[in-house]
Amino acid sequence: VPLTRAEFDILEMLARAPNRVLSRDQLLDGLMRSDEAPTDRMIDSYVSRIRKKMGTSDFIVTVTGIGYRFVPSPS
């Protein structure tokens, strides 16, 4: 599945911390090396695009008001 650099970076950060909630700020910090300055709303857009490209949203769980959690084996 082709992903942009930012999408890949977010997916990698989440996958490296399975079952742990990562805040939007933590994900933003991981993207700061890119040329554009991402915002917390951009994180939401990136996650939405990742879910759409992967064909499922089961493995990235939204934790309302906090961030996202990667679930390796969704139930």
Q: Name every residue whose Cβ is closer than 8 Å to that of residue 72 and which is 6 or more positions away in sequence.
A: 15, 18, 19, 59
pTM of the model: 0.86
Give phi and psi for 15, each to the nearest 5: -65, -30
Please give the pLDDT value at position 22.
98
Q: What is the pLDDT of residues 16-64, one digit of tens each?
A: 999 999 999 999 988 866 556 677 789 999 999 999 999 988 899 999 9
The DSSP bridge pattern shows strands 67-70 and 60-63 to be antiparallel
Per-residue model confidence (pLDDT) at position 37: 67
> Domain map of the chain by residue range?
5-70
- Which CATH number describes the domain made up of 5-70? 1.10.10.10
> CB 38: neighbour CB atoms within 10 A?
19
| pLDDT at 56 (0 to 100) | 82
